[in-house]
């Protein structure tokens, strides 16, 4: 059996090879096409192209979605020629001369930049890869040996988009062609199904259809307005979170939305994080900022009075709203916003308690994902500083602290992760400026991966804020701080749940749990009695009566469109028999039953 690493490598080689075949096919159809880059991406590949102005003016248009089947057919023709991939190392001058002759300005720019990037040694050669005798590309390699190895039933060109050259909006806009590629046709079919399903589950579309949230130009981009139905979802999650955290030993605090600049200088957010903060507000008593993080405020709660070793660990939880400046072009529904409310908490503990506390945080995540929301596909990412020894001390613009502190913190977090038994991986260069962090990555049923929460072990805050406690001997010692937020922000997590459940929320989260549909107005009184009886047993149940002057079939369709868990129909027979006819979401008509039976049916949902 092949290892996961081997499978990953094989997939990358297949995708990289298809990127070259795509470029060859485009050059065949558009001989004057200028080539950008064609990297491997998750699930596939892309390649960027341009036409010189005169050729584009003559053609009238370049590659569109309608052209993809023709390009794909050309790719299949090339693959069937059983062409070998062959890499050579060319002198820089030879490569530059070749691409100048071929009128490929973007490749020339890449060669120049490769030469410039060699600060310690002079670049003398660059890699080029032949695809038989039909195509040559500037490339460092990583392909199959021959096009005969490429699975023709496992690739597909998916869409076209615009992309600035090298991601810089000051550069020309190129045409980017995307493709999907896998090792088997079955994998491709699964991926394409997921993509189609993703369109149906798009949280922005469902959010509008189910009337959960909206945005207003007058309020500003990235600042969601929660509608009544969406607010119910937020509040139900928050209500359960508060109860769970109380059981797990947390105390609740509340902090303001703004603070003086001195607080963020103490925390290190100025200068380490200032680019993501909103501009300062200059008032008569000083300069203030909207808070981008809850932690500095919570640290001041901890400092409000002295603490001894007997009190530790102290766990302060808060649903805190924060504001971060995101460029307008990066905003995406609820997934990336400028204002959001976090399921935040900060744990103040001794160094000896840090590992056990971090382990408990991971166990809390597991509880939420598996037991509450039924999310089985998740893993942790341990983000570390760069590999170079002593970098945290050397790169003061990126990291705070000294190497010894970093090493101890990493050992604590890594040990806790191993003991948790949960899957994890380690990545370098992504640590927070004040310590290693653990991101929980969750995947939805359609394969979309999101960062649900970020958790950090912070050894830096104690010195910044003088966060101390008195040990058994009466000596002051610094605390370790754990930043944790199992559910991340309401905005991102609700967006994930909308797509995970396709808008069909579990009973406890559904904005309307039961909708009663009287056959006509004359049965409205009985419908209200049914509603009152349900509420008498559970006053928090969300039950509505829909006696609109519409046909029953239309009201049923509307109830199903709104994904209401139960539609209860009452008419003459139900009123006489003191029963209700029940339609359950996803099952349809489950028959008539006494109201007591129905209450028993939903009691444990």
Is position 346 annotated as part of the catalytic site? Answer: yes
Q: Which of 269, 324, 365, 484 is catalytic?
A: 324
CB 457 within 8 A of CB 409: yes
CB 338 within 8 A of CB 323: yes
CB 253 within 8 A of CB 316: yes
Q: Which of 20, 27, 143, 295 is catalytic?
A: 295
- Give the pairing type, strands 314-323 and 449-458: unpaired
Q: Virtual CA dihedral for 543, 549, 550, 552, nearest 10 degrees? A: 60
Is position 186 annotated as part of the catalytic site? Answer: no
Alpha-carbon distances, residue 585 vs 300, 507, 562 (angstroms): 48, 10, 10
Q: Is 365 annotated as a binding residue?
A: no
Q: Is 483 annotated as a binding residue?
A: yes
Other residues' Cβ atoms within 10 Å of the Cβ of residue 371? 9
Is position 437 annotated as part of the catalytic site? Answer: yes
DSSP assignment of 534-562 equals: HHHH-TT--EEE---SS-HHHHHHHHHHT
Q: Is 346 annotated as a binding residue?
A: yes
Q: Which of 269, 483, 531, 583 is catalytic?
A: 483
Rounded CA-CA distance 352/138 in Å is 54
Residue 451: exposure state from Cβ atoms within 10 A (0-12, 13-18, ≥19)? middle
Q: Which of 20, 437, 555, 563 is catalytic?
A: 437
- Widest distance between CA atoms in the chain: 93
Q: At which residue do the structure tokens 């166990």 appear?
A: 363
Is position 601 annotated as part of the catalytic site? Answer: no
Q: Which of 104, 342, 353, 456 is catalytic?
A: 342
Could you give the 3-state DSSP secondary structure of residue 266? helix
Is position 324 annotated as part of the catalytic site? Answer: yes
Is position 139 annotated as part of the catalytic site? Answer: no
Other residues' Cβ atoms within 10 Å of the Cβ of residue 230? 22
Could you give the 3-state DSSP secondary structure of residue 341? strand
Is position 404 annotated as part of the catalytic site? Answer: no
Q: Which of 346, 414, 484, 490 is catalytic?
A: 346
Q: Which of 344, 439, 546, 547 is catalytic?
A: 344
- Give the pairing type, strands 251-252 and 314-323: parallel
Which positions make up the binding site? 295, 346, 483
Which positions make up the binding site for Zn(2+)? 295, 346, 483
Active-site amino acid positions: 295, 324, 342, 344, 346, 437, 483
């Amino acid at each position: 059996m092949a290892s996961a690493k081997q499978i990953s490598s094989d997939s990358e080689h297949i995708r990289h090879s298809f990127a070259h075949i795509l470029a060859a096919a485009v050059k065949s159809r558009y001989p004057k096409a200028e080539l950008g880059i064609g990297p491997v991406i998750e699930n596939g590949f892309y390649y960027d192209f341009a036409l010189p102005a005169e050729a584009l003016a003559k053609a009238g248009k370049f590659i569109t979605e309608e052209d993809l089947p023709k390009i794909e057919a050309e790719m299949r023709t090339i693959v069937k020629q059983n062409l070998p991939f062959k890499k050579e190392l060319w002198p820089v001058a030879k490569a530059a001369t070749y691409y100048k002759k071929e009128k490929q300005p973007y490749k020339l720019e890449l060669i120049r930049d490769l030469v410039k990037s060699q600060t310690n040694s002079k670049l003398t050669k660059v890699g080029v890869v032949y695809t038989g005798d039909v195509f040559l590309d500037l490339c460092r390699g990583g392909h199959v040996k021959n096009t005969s190895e490429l699975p023709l039933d496992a690739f597909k060109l998916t869409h076209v988009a615009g992309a600035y050259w090298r991601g810089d909006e000051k550069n020309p806009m190129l045409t980017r062609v995307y493709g999907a590629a896998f090792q088997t046709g079955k994998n491709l079919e699964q991926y394409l199904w997921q993509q189609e399903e993703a369109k149906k589950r798009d949280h922005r579309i469902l959010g509008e259809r189910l009337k959960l949230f909206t945005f207003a130009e007058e309020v500003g981009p990235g600042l969601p307005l929660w509608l009544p139905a969406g607010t119910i979802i937020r509040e139900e999650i928050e209500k359960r979170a508060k109860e769970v955290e109380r059981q797990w030993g947390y105390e609740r605090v509340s902090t303001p939305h703004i603070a003086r600049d001195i607080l963020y200088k103490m925390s290190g957010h100025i200068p380490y994080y200032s680019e993501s903060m909103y501009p300062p507000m200059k008032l008569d008593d000083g300069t203030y900022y909207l808070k981008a993080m809850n932690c500095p405020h919570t640290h001041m709660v901890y400092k409000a009075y002295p603490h001894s070793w007997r009190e530790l660990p102290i766990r302060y939880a808060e649903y805190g709203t924060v504001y971060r400046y995101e460029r307008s072009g990066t905003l995406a529904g609820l997934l990336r916003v400028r204002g959001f409310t976090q399921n935040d908490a900060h744990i103040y503990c001794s160094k000896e308690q840090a590992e056990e506390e971090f382990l408990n945080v991971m166990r809390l995540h597991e509880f939420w994902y598996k037991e509450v929301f039924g999310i089985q596909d998740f893993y942790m990412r341990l983000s570390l500083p760069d590999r170079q020894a002593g970098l945290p001390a050397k790169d003061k613009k990126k990291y705070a602290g000294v190497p010894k502190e970093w090493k101890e913190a990493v050992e604590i977090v890594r040990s806790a992760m191993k003991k948790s038994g949960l899957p994890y991986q380690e990545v370098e260069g992504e640590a927070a400026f004040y310590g290693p962090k653990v991101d929980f990555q969750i995947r939805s049923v359609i394969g979309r991966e999101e960062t649900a929460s970020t958790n950090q072990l912070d050894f830096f805050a104690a010195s910044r804020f003088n966060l101390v406690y008195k040990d058994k001997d009466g000596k002051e010692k610094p605390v370790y701080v754990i930043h944790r937020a199992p559910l991340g922000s309401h905005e991102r997590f609700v967006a994930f749940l909308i797509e995970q459940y396709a808008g069909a929320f579990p009973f406890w989260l559904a904005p309307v749990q039961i909708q009663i549909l009287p056959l006509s107005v004359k049965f409205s009184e009985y419908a209200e009695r049914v509603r009152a009886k349900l509420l008498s047993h559970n006053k928090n149940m969300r039950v509505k009566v829909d006696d609109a002057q519409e046909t029953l079939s239309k009201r049923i369709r509307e109830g199903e469109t709104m994904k209401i868990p139960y539609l209860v129909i009452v008419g003459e027979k139900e009123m006489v028999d003191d029963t209700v006819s029940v339609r359950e979401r996803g099952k349809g008509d489950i028959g008539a039953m006494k109201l007591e039976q129905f209450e028993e049916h939903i009691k444990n949902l």
